[in-house]
Amino acid sequence: MGDALDNYWYAVATADAIGSDPTRVELRDQGYVIWRTPDGCITAAPDRCSHREARLSDGSVENGCLRCPYHGWSFGDQGQCVDVPSSGPGAAIPPGAHLTALPLDERYGLIWLCPGDPVGPVPAIGVDDDPAFTRLNTRMQTWDCAATRMIDNMLDVAHFPYTHAGTFGREQEQVVPKFSLTQLDDTFYGYEYSIVINNEGDAKTMSGGGGDVIGLDMSTGFALPFSVRSTMSYENGIEQVLFMTAAPMTTGIGVQPPRSMFTFVLWRNDDVSDTGQGIVDFELEVALEDQRMLESLSGELSLQHGALVDVVSDRASVEWRRRFSALIDNSESYVPSAAS
Ligand code: FES
Ligand SMILES: [Fe+2]
């Protein structure tokens, strides 16, 4: 049985990871197979053959069709069963043999999957259409933590001086100035702020140079359920858009600890032909600092009123929790605490 979260898009793979071999992805306790035909068509379906429930991701793509490894049934790019070898050529295909193909989108170098009926499109990133910007991708990662905790972290500035002391965090910048929440554009809701960060070593690849301490203007906002966009404007005119997205592999209902997929996409308005890999590597280092912290926390982020202590700098997270709770129709409706 699906729920409200099934009707959203989740980035489950990088586009370049989906080739001629069928790939299994796990999303919210369900396995899905994704395959690409030689003419470039990508299809996703539950990773369970309609015949005896074999994993289709263990099969192969032959003659433009996905072939099950167990008895060789074949499926076309709409999920339709086109061949049951044991019945002989031309035999009728049982109606129940067809797979249900899932809504799929390829955008920003990522494969997006929706297990239900999408309530809207994949989060819109305006600069993706801007020829002044170049896109940089990185691999899909698996983090042993809840997507709810990842979003809380991505919306949070107060952890920079501590969690990110090894990359850009500056211990002198502990106080988070009061900010207001606003609709940043049609997609993202969040806040705008200015920060001072350490700009030493590898950080200079990202900032394009400058002193060892620099200021920049940023905005950070979320799109439900699990995406965050941070924009950075440096004084030298460099602009970077960092899009981070998480997808829960588990539902949090089972006994297993939560596990999530994570990736980010960058857009830059400078020439990244020489620096692109260095910039991605720096952001990977930053992400690893967050990952280490979040993997030391157990379980889901609590959505219950009073379960967490919130302060002023947590306002964006509080608002995300309020909207997320409404989205999943939490029976115990979430009421923000101190952070107003
Ligand atoms: S289980 Fe797939 S063909 Fe039999
Ligand atoms: Fe962080």
Q: CB of 52 closer than 6 A to ligand 1?
A: yes
pLDDT recorded at residue 158: 94
CB 304 within 8 A of CB 331: no
pLDDT recorded at residue 97: 98
Can you tell me which atom of ligand 1 is nearest the CA of 71? 3
Determine what percent of the chain is predicted with pLDDT higher than 90: 87
pLDDT band at 255 (very low <50, low <70, confident <90, very high): low
Mean of pLDDT over the chain = 93
Is the predicted pLDDT of residue 300 greater than 50, yes or no? yes
CB 41 within 8 A of CB 66: no
Q: Give the pair of three-digit tokens for residue 233.
A: 């404007």
Give the C-alpha separation, 273 to 141, whole Å. Answer: 24
pLDDT recorded at residue 332: 43
Q: What is the pTM of this model?
A: 0.94
Nearest CA to ligand 1 atom 3: 71
| Nearest partner of 320 among 336, 331, 307, judged by Cα | 336
Give the C-alpha separation, 70 to 56, whole Å. Answer: 9
Q: Which of 60, 73, 93, 98 for a ligand 1 pocket mutation test, highest count of atoms within 8 Å of Cβ?
A: 73
pLDDT recorded at residue 305: 79
Over residues 63-82, the mean pLDDT reads 96
Neighbours of ion ligand 2 (CB under 5 A): 290
Give the C-alpha separation, 76 to 48, whole Å. Answer: 15
pLDDT recorded at residue 270: 97
Q: CB of 84 closer than 6 A to ligand 1?
A: no
Is the predicted pLDDT of residue 4 greater than 70, yes or no? yes
Any idea which ligand is nearest the CA of 167? 2
Q: What is the dihedral of CA 140, 200, 150, 260, to 10 degrees?
A: 20
22 CB burial (10 A radius; 0-12, 13-18, 19+): buried
Q: CB of 280 closer than 6 A to ligand 1?
A: no
pLDDT band at 254 (very low <50, low <70, confident <90, very high): low
pLDDT band at 173 (very low <50, low <70, confident <90, very high): confident
pLDDT recorded at residue 20: 85
Q: CB of 34 closer than 6 A to ligand 1?
A: no
Q: CB of 97 closer than 6 A to ligand 1?
A: no
Nearest CA to ligand 1 atom 1: 52
DSSP state for residue 48 in the 8-state scheme: S
| Nearest partner of 195 among 231, 151, 163, 152, judged by Cα | 231
Query: How many Cβ atoms from other residues are within 10 Å of residue 189's Cβ?
Result: 17
- CA 91 – ligand 2 centroid, Å: 58
Amino acid identity of residue 157, one-letter, is V
Over residues 100-110, the mean pLDDT reads 97
pLDDT band at 219 (very low <50, low <70, confident <90, very high): very high
In degrees, rounded to 5, the angle at the alpha carbon of residue 77 between the alpha carbons of residues 76 and 82 is: 10
Any idea which ligand is nearest the CA of 67? 1
Q: What is the dihedral of CA 52, 56, 57, 62, to 10 degrees?
A: 150
Over residues 20-45, the mean pLDDT reads 95
pLDDT recorded at residue 1: 57
The predicted-structure confidence for 182-195, as pLDDT tens digits, reads as follows: 999 999 999 999 99
Q: Which of 48, 52, 57, 87 for a ligand 1 pocket mutation test, highest count of atoms within 8 Å of Cβ?
A: 52
Query: How many Cβ atoms from other residues are within 10 Å of residue 196's Cβ?
Result: 12
Determine what percent of the chain is predicted with pLDDT higher than 70: 96
| Nearest partner of 18 among 55, 47, 43, judged by Cα | 43
- Token pair 């099950």 in the structure block, residue: 68
| Nearest partner of 189 among 214, 139, 223, judged by Cα | 223
Give the C-alpha separation, 288 to 281, whole Å. Answer: 10
Give the C-alpha separation, 336 to 321, whole Å. Answer: 8
pLDDT band at 336 (very low <50, low <70, confident <90, very high): very low
- CA 30 – ligand 1 centroid, Å: 19
Over residues 86-107, the mean pLDDT reads 96
Give the C-alpha separation, 228 to 49, whole Å. Answer: 35
Over residues 261-273, the mean pLDDT reads 98
Amino acid identity of residue 255, one-letter, is V
Question: Hey, what domains does the chain have and what are their CATH numbers?
Answer: 4-113 (2.102.10.10), 126-327 (3.90.380.10)
Q: Which of 33, 49, 66 for a ligand 1 pocket mutation test, highest count of atoms within 8 Å of Cβ?
A: 49
Give the C-alpha separation, 19 to 230, whole Å. Answer: 30
pLDDT band at 334 (very low <50, low <70, confident <90, very high): very low
Q: CB of 56 closer than 6 A to ligand 1?
A: no
pLDDT recorded at residue 333: 45
Over residues 241-253, the mean pLDDT reads 92
Enumerate the β-bridge partners of residue 62: 65
Q: Please count the CA atoms within 13 angstroms of the CA of 73 that sit on its side-chain side.
A: 24
Give the C-alpha separation, 111 to 61, whole Å. Answer: 18
